[in-house]
Amino acid sequence: MEEYKTLRAPASDEFTEKRSRFIGYAQPVSTQVEAAAFIERIKKQHHDATHNVFAYLLREGQLERYSDDGEPQGTAGIPVLDVLRKQGVTNCAVVVSDEPIGSPLVTEPPIAVLMNKPSLKKFEPTMEKGGLLLYNSSLIDEAPTRDDVTVVAVPCNDIAEQLGNSRTANMVMLGAMIERTGVISIDSAMEALKATFGPKKEHLLPINRQAMEAGAAAARA
């Protein structure tokens, strides 16, 4: 009997990228009927998916089939088929379904961090009563007018300039927000920055901590 490589059992996996969730399913099949039934089952399971891309390979007749399911031609189904080819598997069908990940729409934010005048004009009127409004008084020369929210002025750019690095203005504001809300600690924020920066940018950590601490001090004043 001629040997060949295929799947031992059905399998699935998923990952998220750019606000889309991709779910992949793979199943051993030996005929077109089996492949079609598997693909149809996944399509029904993910009937609201943006796309249900598939590809399969069969030993019988050396058959190959794929579908981009509305994606630009050759950009979805063929890459899936190429993976199967490169892995040397046959009698196998794969379906990849993708779904958008929605973001909650906040219509009345309880906290607003506003770095420039256009942002102030746009978001101040929408804020929840009793909320917290932090604004960059270095760039916004008109104070907020709401009297039913807590307003905190933070001269982010001025503080950043005093620290010798104008690019840390956003870190100044982050420190002010941490001070006023307590949602996280500066130490926790620094751990996140350290993981994001990596070894190559580790030298930037001290100035970012200084900026956050200066922002926190400004918010206490």
First and final C-alpha spacing in the chain: 82
Domain assignment of residue 85, given as a range: 11-100
In this structure, what CATH number is given to the domain that contains residue 170? 3.40.920.10
pLDDT of residue 17: 80
The pLDDT value given to residue 82? 94
Please identify, among 55, 76, 100, the residue that sits at the C-terminal boundary of a domain.
100
* Confidence at residue 103, expressed as pLDDT on a 0 to 100 scale: 62
State the CATH number of the domain containing residue 22.
3.30.230.30
User: Are 119 and 71 found together in one domain?
Assistant: no
The predicted structure's pLDDT at residue 72 = 86
Q: Are residues 33 and 129 in the same domain?
A: no
Q: How many domains does the chain have?
A: 2
pLDDT tens, 118-148? 999 999 999 999 999 999 999 999 999 999 9
Which distant-in-sequence residues (6+ apart) come within 8 Å of 170 by Cβ?
115, 156
Whose CA is closest to 213, among 184, 150, 181, 171?
171
Whole-prediction pTM value?
A: 0.56
Residues of the chain with pLDDT under 50: none
Token code pair at residue 39: 């693909």
pLDDT at 106: 76
% the chain with pLDDT above 70: 97
The answer to whether 49 touches 97, Cβ cutoff 8 Å, is yes
Exposed (0-12), middle (13-18) or buried (19+): which is 120, by Cβ within 10 Å?
buried
Which pLDDT belongs to residue 19? Answer: 76
- 33 in a domain, yes or no? yes
What is the reported pLDDT for 31? 93
pLDDT of residue 48: 87
The per-residue pLDDT for 105 is 66
Q: Report pLDDT for 102.
A: 65
Q: Tens of pLDDT along 70-88?
A: 888 888 999 999 999 999 9
pLDDT at position 219: 96
